[in-house]
Structure formats: structure tokens, C-alpha cells
Amino acid sequence: MVAERTADAEWTGGLRDGRGSVKLGSRAFEGGYCFGSRFETGEGTNPEELIAAAHAGCFSMALSAGLERAGFKPESIRTHAKALLEKVGEGFAITEVALETDVDVRGIDKARFREEVENAKRNCPVSRALAGTKITVNARHV
């Protein structure tokens, strides 16, 4: 099975005075971005926010799948992701993605819960794509 997903981006102008737009191939999202929305507090989205959204969604799905394979059906998984963009050398890098998740699942012990969380962190496709980035997870069993 191969799933191909697409997105488009357009940037016009210089770095500080320019403007960009991103559009998902599914048409589920289209939005603008600029220097201010990426490096300050300007309006619009930015690549790091989109990566955080992708990681939160991917991790939640991977954890749900792992819990189900282990015989536990989660009621809900709510994940918040924070991607950190920092100056590294002459450029910038996403140095960490911090995931915080609340999981409502019955009948699982602490050790097995932690194991499934770690498996999802390590094996979700977005985590794998970000293999050079520090990924942390604070998981609460609610």
C-alpha cells in the first residue's frame, strides 16, 4: 500500500516583507504565512505549526492502533504538540517536538500503557520522518 499526499506552497517577495500561502492537496486547509507568523507572533500559519499538527495526529492514530492491537480500545486520545524552531549555527532547525497526550483507555496497567506510548512515539510515520529531532512525550492515562 502506498499513500501519496500532496501540498502546495507559494512565496512572493523577500524574506521579511514577503507573503506565502499553503494549500493541502485534500483541500482541507488553505492558509497564509509570513515572516511574522514564523519567527514572531504575526497572523497566519507556519511550517512548524503544520508539522506539529501532523505529528499530533499521527501519534494519536499510532497510539490508538497499538492499544487496539494489544487488546485495549481507547475512548479518546487528545494530543497537543509543540515544535521548537531554534537558531542552530548559521540557520534554523526544528530541535524538538514535545507531545502531551491524554488517553482515556480502560483496563491497561501503567507499564503496558507506557510501552504503547513509547512504541507510538518511535514508530508513527511523522516521528520516523523527524528521526533527527528530539521527541518527548508526556502521557497521562485518564
Report the pLDDT value the prediction gives residue 42, as an integer from 0 to 100: 86
Nearest Cα to 121, choosing from 106, 107, 102, 136? 136
Cβ-contact 51, 83 below 8 angstroms: yes
Long-range own/partner contacts, residues 107-111 (CB < 8 A, 24 or more apart): 107/72, 108/67, 108/70, 108/72, 108/141, 110/141
DSSP 45: B
pLDDT in tens, 20-79: 999 999 999 999 999 999 999 889 999 999 999 999 999 999 999 999 999 999 999 999
Please list the residues that pair with 87 across neighbouring strands: 92
Mean residue pLDDT across the chain? 96
